[in-house]
Chains A and B, each alone.
Chain A
Amino acid sequence: MAAALLSLLGVFVALYLYLYKIGKIGALVCGTGGCETVQLSRYSRFLGIEVSLIGLVGYIGLLAFTLWALRPAVARLRWPATVLAALSGVGVLFAIYLTALELFVIHAICRWCVGSAVIITAIFAAALLDRRHAEAVKA
C-alpha cells in the first residue's frame, strides 16, 4: 500500500517537472535556482527522451502494478513484491546516476529530482519489506 501511495506521489513530481520542461508552467518552485539549471542542461534528456517523461511513465507503471498487486487473489503471493523490487531497483540505479550527474557534472541540485530519488528509494525499500513479510507468512 505504501508503494502505491509513493508511486502516486512520484507521478505528480515527475508530471510537475515534465510540464515545466514543455513550457506549460512558469518558474519551478525550487528556492535555489538549481532546478532550472538541471532541467535546462543537456542531461535532462536520456537517449533523446526527457528524463521527467521517463519518470512519469515509470511511476504510472509502478502505480498501476502496485494497485493490481493489491487484489486479494494476488496479495498473498511473493512474486509481485519481487517484480516491484526489481522495477524500482532499476529506478534507484537511474536515480543514483542522475544524482551523480547533478553533483559532479552539472554542479547544481534540483530538489524535485532529489525528492523523486527519495520516493523511488522508498518504493524499493517497501518492496523489499513486502517480500520479506511474504516469506515470513509463507514459512
Chain B
Amino acid sequence: MAAEPSGAETGGGMRGFYLGLGALAVAGVAVILYLVLKPSTVSIPVNVAVQASDTAGFQGYVLGSPDAPVEITEFADYQCPYCQTFATMQMPTVEERLIKTGRLRLRYRDFPLDNIHSNARVAMHAAACANDQNKYWPMHDRLYEGQGDWAPEANPAPTFHGYAQALGLDVNAYDACMKSAKYAGRIQASRNLAERYGVGSTPTMMVGNRLWAGRIDSDAIIHLVDSLAPLPAAPGDSAKATK
C-alpha cells in the first residue's frame, strides 16, 4: 500500500490484483451460500465443557404433579431398545395409573451411550428443542415410536425435522435450535450427573438414592409406589373389614 507505485502496480498489476480479489470474493460467497442452503446434518458435540447456564433452572424433564409423594428419575437414551420398550409398552400404564392420579412424578434425564448409539445425542437435542415450544413429551413419544426408523440412519436430522413438523412445531425455530446445538451442554450435564450417581446403563430408574437398572415393567413400578406411598384406605374398606 505504501510502496512506490510501479508501472505494474498502476496498470496491469492492479488489474490483476482486483481480478484476484473479485475471484476470491465470488468463491467465498459461493461457499457460504452452499453451506447455508444445503440440507444440513446436525452434529451435537460430545464431552463439551458444561457451563452454569446449561443447567440454570433445569432439573430434567418432569412429568407429573410437583406434589406427588414419589419421584422416579429415569436415565435413558432415545436409541436404547429397552428404553423404547419401557416408553411405548409400560409408560402408558404408569402414566394412567400413577402419574395422572398424582401419585408419581417422573423426571426424565438424558444418558447418551455414545459408543453404541451414534444418533442418541441428536435425538436428545431434538427433544430439547421441542421443549422450547412446550412439546417435549410429544417429541419424546414420537422419537421412541420411530426409533426403528431413525436409529440406523447416517443423518437422522431430516427425520426429526419431519417429527417436528408433524407435531406442529415452528420448524424455523426448531431448525435454528438444532443447528445451534445450544443444548449440547445440558445433555452433557445430565450424562455427568448420571455418572456421579453410578449409572452405567439404560434405562436406569433412580428412586431416592437407589438405582434400578435394566428392564422394568409397570407392575413393578406400581408395587414400588404402593410400598412407598400407600393409598389411604377408602372409607368403605374398614367397614368391609369389620363385617
The residues of A with any CB-CB pair to B shorter than 8 Å are: 1, 3-5, 8-9, 11-12, 15-16, 19-28, 33, 36-37, 40-42, 66, 69-70, 72, 74-78, 80-81, 84, 106-107, 130-131, 133-134, 137
Interface of A is mostly: helix
Contact yes or no, B43 A16, CB < 8 A: no
Most A-side CB within 10 Å, residue of B17, B43, B49, B53 = B49
Q: In the complex, A106→B49 CA distance in Å? A: 7
Interchain CB contact under 8 A, B49 and A37: yes
Q: Considering residues A23, A80, A107, which has the most beta carbons from chain B within 10 angstroms of its beta carbon?
A: A23
Q: Are A5 and B5 in contact (CB under 8 A)?
A: no
Q: Are A41 and B179 in contact (CB under 8 A)?
A: no
Do A72 and B48 contact each other (CB < 8 Å), given the known contacts A5-B20, A15-B32? no
**Contact check: which of A22, A40, A72, A81 meets B181 at CB < 8 Å?**
A40
Check if A26 sits within 8 Å of B184, measured CB to CB.
no
B185 at the interface (CB under 8 A from A): yes
Known contacts A19-B36, A27-B43, A106-B49: A81-B2 contact under CB 8 Å? yes
Q: Could you give 23 example pairs across A and B, Cβ below 8 Å?
A: A3-B1, A5-B21, A5-B24, A15-B32, A19-B36, A22-B180, A23-B176, A23-B177, A23-B179, A24-B176, A25-B36, A27-B42, A36-B43, A40-B182, A40-B184, A42-B51, A70-B14, A72-B5, A72-B10, A75-B1, A77-B2, A130-B2, A133-B3
A4 to chain B, nearest CB (A): 6
Whether B10 pairs with A19 at a CB distance below 8 angstroms is no
**Quick one: which of A21, A23, A28, A33 contacts B46, CB cutoff 8 A?**
A33
Does A40 lie within 8 Å of B45, measured CB to CB? yes
**CB-based closest 10 A-B pairs:** A26-B40, A134-B2, A27-B43, A23-B180, A23-B176, A12-B28, A23-B179, A36-B45, A81-B2, A69-B1
Q: Is B41 an interface residue (CB 8 A)?
A: yes
> With A26-B41, A36-B181, A40-B185 in contact, is A75–B2 under 8 Å at CB?
yes
Closest-CB distance, B35 to chain A (whole angstroms): 5
Chain B, interface SS category = helix
List, in ascending order, chain B residues with CB within 8 A of A133's CB. 2-3
Q: Which B residues are CB-close (under 8 A) to A137?
A: 2-4
Report if A80-B176 is in contact (Cβ < 8 Å); known contacts: A25-B35, A36-B48. Answer: no
Q: Are B4 and A8 in contact (CB under 8 A)?
A: no
The winner among A5, A33, A74, A75 for most chain B CB atoms within 10 A is: A75
New A-B contacts (16) at CB < 8 Å, excluding given A23-B177, A74-B1: A5-B20, A5-B21, A12-B28, A12-B31, A23-B179, A24-B36, A26-B179, A27-B40, A33-B46, A40-B181, A40-B182, A42-B53, A75-B5, A76-B5, A133-B3, A137-B3
A-B contacts at CB below 8 angstroms, number: 110
Residue on A nearest B10 in the bound complex, by CB = A72
Q: Size of chain B's interface in residues, with CB distance under 8 A?
A: 40
Interface centre among B14, B31, B178, B180 (most CB of A within 10 A): B180
Cα(A72)–Cα(B157), bound, Å: 53
* B95 at interface, CB cutoff 8 A: no
CA distance A77 to B175 in the complex (A): 51
Interface centre among B5, B32, B45, B182 (most CB of A within 10 A): B45
Contacts of A19 in B (CB 8 A): 32, 35-36
Q: Which residues of A contact B21 (CB under 8 A)?
A: 4-5, 8
On chain A, the residues within 8 Å of B182 by CB distance are: 40
